[in-house]
Amino acid sequence: MKKSTFVAMILGTIGGILFALGMCMALIPEWNAFNQGIVMGVIGAVVLLIMVLVWRKMENKSPVRVSGKMIGTVLLGIIGALVLGVGMCLTMVWSNMIIGIIVGIVGIILLMSLIPLTKGLK
């Protein structure tokens, strides 16, 4: 395993756990930890951003260039993840099984469309 991959794995794990725990703290009302959860989630997001920057530096890759396609790809990923999450909430939390499954499938399709958008079709 390359050193850059190992560092990315460790930072990604730490950042992902901090982000997920922060979101749970903020979104589970029984925990009464909304403000602390937001802080923890932001710390996790910062660690994940640092992971990307460190990995790109260790791999001698050029910095990320902001373009219209990149912004659109990020927005599509965010929207797809949110739609999939709403579908899961409809199914598991609000007991709207059929609508939740349909909304979840739409979210999955949006996320799957990222593959040809970023890699292209041959």
- Give pLDDT tens digits for 29-79: 899 999 999 999 999 999 999 999 999 999 999 888 899 999 999 999 999
pLDDT value of residue 54: 93
Q: Mean pLDDT score of the chain, rounded to an integer?
A: 93
Q: Which two tokens stand for residue 91?
A: 């199914």
Closest residue by Cα to residue 56 from 8, 6, 94, 103? 8
pLDDT value of residue 120: 87
Q: What angle do CA 15, 21, 22 make, to 5 degrees?
A: 85
Determine the distance from the C-alpha atom of residue 12 to the mean position of all C-alpha atoms in its chain, rounded to a whole number: 11
| Residue 27 pLDDT exceeds 90 | no
Of the pLDDT bands very low, low, confident and very high (cuts 50, 70, 90), residue 11 is very high
pLDDT value of residue 48: 96
Task: State percent of the chain over pLDDT 90.
Answer: 85
Q: What are phi and psi of 61, to 5 degrees?
A: -95, 155
Provide the 10 A C-beta neighbour count for residue 10: 11
